[in-house]
């Protein structure tokens, strides 16, 4: 997915809105990795940042050296709902107060060296989401009949915005609506398809 498409799909409607883009080698596919060994995040604050922030993630992946993961193992993602940095900041302050209490007991507390991760965690929390822009239908199968049926129900009950091929299936960005028949179909399909109201959307891998 190129930066122009990102600019088109992911809008900024309020001054404090940001998106998180991420390069990640998933532990699911690389079980020997620790949770933070193969991840890089970028905060996008305005449309013109999509291009160079995505390029920075690509460079991180291209130069990644680790015996437990290769550059080809990485996926790129974006929060499909914008985060509100002011709401995240209030949570961040609470976390720092708690960290201060812990430092009174242990001045070498490990969280002190992970302040950047703490800020990203606060941004990613549901409490930092003020505006619901999309849902994401995660089709975790290569069966095109499942994809076609999902699209048929989406277009019947709501609005489809974009379909993105993933390693194992497809991600489908849709506008929020009351998807009664779609949800019934998803529930009948087990693990093959899921509806996410606030997670990450797959935007590609290293070519």
Reply yes or no on whether the pLDDT at 31 is more than 70.
no
C-alpha 90, offset from chain centre: 21
Instruction: Say yes or no: 75 and 10 in one domain.
Output: yes
pTM of the shown model: 0.90
User: In the prediction, which pLDDT does 105 show?
Assistant: 79
Question: Looking at per-residue confidence, does 33 or 59 come out higher?
Answer: 59
Total number of domains in the chain: 3
Q: Around Cβ 127, how many Cβ atoms within 10 Å? A: 13
Residue 205 falls within a domain, yes or no? no
Q: What CATH number should be reported for the domain holding residue 156?
A: 3.30.70
* Interatomic CA distance for residues 21 and 79, integer angstroms: 7
Q: Which residue has the tokens 């779609």?
A: 182
Average pLDDT, whole number, for the chain? 92
Instruction: Say yes or no: 148 and 170 in one domain.
Output: yes
Q: Which residue has the tokens 């929060």?
A: 79
Instruction: Say yes or no: 79 and 45 in one domain.
Output: yes
Residue 207 falls within a domain, yes or no? no
Residue 204 falls within a domain, yes or no? no
Instruction: Say yes or no: 156 and 195 in one domain.
Output: yes
Instruction: Say yes or no: 9 and 43 in one domain.
Output: yes
Instruction: Say yes or no: 40 and 101 in one domain.
Output: no
* Interatomic CA distance for residues 181 and 150, integer angstroms: 10
Q: Parallel, antiparallel, or unpaired: how do β-strands 17-25 and 39-44 relate?
A: antiparallel
Q: Around Cβ 125, how many Cβ atoms within 10 Å? A: 14
Distances (CA, A) of 91 to 9, 77, 87, 95: 28, 23, 7, 6
Residue 32 falls within a domain, yes or no? yes
- Mean local confidence (pLDDT), 20-41: 81
* Interatomic CA distance for residues 76 and 39, integer angstroms: 10
Residues 6+ apart with CB under 8 A from 145: none
Instruction: Say yes or no: 7 and 43 in one domain.
Output: yes
Helix and strand totals (H; E) in the chain: 6, 9
Instruction: Say yes or no: 164 and 104 in one domain.
Output: no
Instruction: Say yes or no: 49 and 28 in one domain.
Output: yes
Instruction: Say yes or no: 110 and 76 in one domain.
Output: no
Reply yes or no on whether the pLDDT at 109 is more than 70.
no
Residues 6+ apart with CB under 8 A from 137: 150, 154, 171, 172, 174, 182, 186, 193, 194, 195, 196
Q: What is the extent of the structural domain holding 113?
A: 84-128
Instruction: Say yes or no: 192 and 141 in one domain.
Output: yes
Contact 134, 174 (CB under 8 A): yes
* Interatomic CA distance for residues 58 and 61, integer angstroms: 5
Answer with the one of 73, 107, 128 that is the final residue of a domain. 128
204: left (phi over 0), alpha (psi -120 to 50) or beta: left
Indicate the range of 18-27, 66-75, 76-85, 130-139 predicted with least confidence.
66-75
User: In the prediction, which pLDDT does 111 show?
Assistant: 66
């Amino acid at each position: 997915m190129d930066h122009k498409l990102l600019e088109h799909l992911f809008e900024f409607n309020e001054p404090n809105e940001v998106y998180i883009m991420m390069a990640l080698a998933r532990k699911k596919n690389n079980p020997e990795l620790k949770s933070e060994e193969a991840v890089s995040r970028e905060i996008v604050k305005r449309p013109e940042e999509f291009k160079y922030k995505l390029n920075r993630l690509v460079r991180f992946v291209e130069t990644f050296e680790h015996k437990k993961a290769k550059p080809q193992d990485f996926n790129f993602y974006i929060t499909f709902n914008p985060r509100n940095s002011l709401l995240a900041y209030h949570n961040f302050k609470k976390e720092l107060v708690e960290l201060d209490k812990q430092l009174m007991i242990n001045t070498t507390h490990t969280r002190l060296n992970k302040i950047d991760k703490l800020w990203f965690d606060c941004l990613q929390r549901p409490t930092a989401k003020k505006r619901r822009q999309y849902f994401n239908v995660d089709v975790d199968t290569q069966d095109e009949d499942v994809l076609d049926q999902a699209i048929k129900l989406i277009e019947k009950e709501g609005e489809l915005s974009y379909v993105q091929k993933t390693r194992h299936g497809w991600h489908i960005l849709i506008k929020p609506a009351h998807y009664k028949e779609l949800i019934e179909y998803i529930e009948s399909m087990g693990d093959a398809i899921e509806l996410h109201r606030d997670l990450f959307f797959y935007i590609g891998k290293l070519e």
